Amino acid sequence: MQDLSAPRTIVIAGGGSAGWMTAAACAHLLPAHLYRVALIESDAIGTVGVGEATIPQIRNFNQALGLDEDAFLRATGGTFKLGIEFVGWGAPGERYLHAFGDVGRDSALHAFHHLWLRARAGGDVRPLGDYALNDLAARAARMQRGAARTARILPEMPYAFHFDAALYARMLRRFVEARGVMRHEGRIVRVERAGESGDVTALLLEGERRIAGDLFVDATGFRSLLLGETLGVGFEEWTRWLPCDRALAVPSARTGPLLPYTRATAHDAGWQWRIPLQHRTGNGVVYSSAHWSDDAAADHLLANLDGAAEADPRPIRFTTGKRARMWAHNVVALGLAAGFMEPLESTSLHLVQSTIARLLKLLPGAAAGDAVRDAFNAQADEEWTRIRDFLILHYHANARDGDFWRACRDAALPDTLAAKLALWREEAGVVRAGEELFTDVAWIQVLIGQGVIPRRWHPLADAPSQAEMAEYLDLIHQLSAREVAQMPDHAAFVAAHCAARAGAR
């Protein structure tokens, strides 16, 4: 009979955002008399730490920890994020926003975009983003929280954050250590395993220190020390669809207006990000080494900064893909140890968050059996695969010249994405698979934003007269525009609620 009163030990190998987010969730949500949490981290091992843009689900994680939002933003130099602007992905110079939240207002039987497509075919319609509250607010650099002020028909505006990932990890470390989590400093030099089961039993650190545990979380980054190196779990490579394999990251001085959105600008061999924080701007280029040299990438990055560079560009090499299993034996991998999804849609920290939630939901009382691990791995596989497809869409649906972009456009698609695109092109249909992360509206914004226009729309969108349709579309736009007009400026909103103290970093 299992002794439920004996506390079990969860050992987290690695710090950074992934490790400290895991420690924070376990320390705050698991009963202290049932679970002990230990984290191993070496100051000599750096973290990638470029994940500064998020999606709205991060708010759920912070709220679950009881973190005050304004205090969190002050501590991390954070700003608000209403969406992502994509520049030059359809064709050079074109731009659109993947804005969080709704676009327009759906009818009982068909989505708003069907009516918009009908109006577009008639040649008299505003851009799709003009019917989205978040899109209009982002472009006007305005921000508010809570219910709409001017019309109850409008939804509350969803938002995420830009923040300094290193400062976030530092804040979570303070949060965790105040709750009794033990941090062990040092490199892991050996992994002990049980002879019969093959489970990990302890991690050996420099100085002959031994950290034993029952469940191990691998947050060791690209090395994947526990799941990959020790347990030999293979890696599924996705470079045939997502060919970028390198990045350079550099901070620059903050200049210009404080925009409430991330920007992803396509270039000859990939794309460049821009993430506005209170104290600086985060920048980087993601590129294919088969099409650009490191020097060419660095030259492009430094020539396209808004402000002066505050450091030398930091190189990052990666292979897009994931581990074949993310839970094997008594080891669960997350963050870069589980796989790498390039940051085009700001999913890095979300994948950490969703892995933590999945682990806590399926947390075994004793040693995990195959059923638990299989359920965990199946859910993880579905989540990663669907996000992968969404990223591939951006590359596939391009109208740019050049070898890199032609190769992306011509690459054979995964069956799951091919089926999704076929339904869209045929009937403007989007079907969300299971609990996949990105909503129908997200897919629609990218598809239309990059010029993938379907042949038909839902027949019920033909029901209103031309005048009724025009009046309805104009009303949706005017209601959203009026709401945005009364919002405060984003920079003023940050200054009023969550300005970081000078020198606090």
Angle at the Cα of 354 from the Cα atoms of 34 and 35, rounded to 5 degrees:
10
3-state secondary structure of 427: helix
Q: Tell me how far CA of residue 174 lies from CA of 27, 41, 171, in angstroms.
A: 12, 14, 5
Question: Considering only CA atoms, which of 264, 317, 260 is closest in space to residue 288?
Answer: 317
Burial class (CB in 10 A: 0-12, 13-18, 19+), 232: exposed
- Write down the H helix ranges in 200-340: 294-303
Contact criterion met (CB below 8 Å) for 73 and 161: yes
Compute the distance between CA of residue 300 and CA of residue 267 in angstroms, rounded to an integer: 9
- 81 noted as active-site residue: yes
Compute the distance between CA of residue 204 and CA of residue 218 in angstroms, rounded to an integer: 14
HEC string for 119-170: HHHCCCCCCHHHHCHHHHHHHCCECCCCCCCCCCCCCCCCCEEECCHHHHHH
Beta-bridge partners for 251: 282
State the greatest distance between any 2 C-alpha atoms of the chain, in Å, as a whole number: 79
Contact criterion met (CB below 8 Å) for 341 and 348: yes
> Alpha carbon 136 to chain centroid distance?
22
Q: Which of 81, 322, 361, 420 is catalytic?
A: 81
Contact criterion met (CB below 8 Å) for 399 and 93: no
HEC string for 346-405: CCHHHHHHHHHHHHHHCCCCCCCCHHHHHHHHHHHHHHHHHHHHHHHHHHHCCCCCCHHH
Question: Considering only CA atoms, which of 473, 503, 501 is closest in space to residue 73?
Answer: 501
Joined tokens for residue 87? 């520049």
Joined tokens for residue 421? 């695109």
DSSP symbol at 412:
P
Catalytic residues: 81
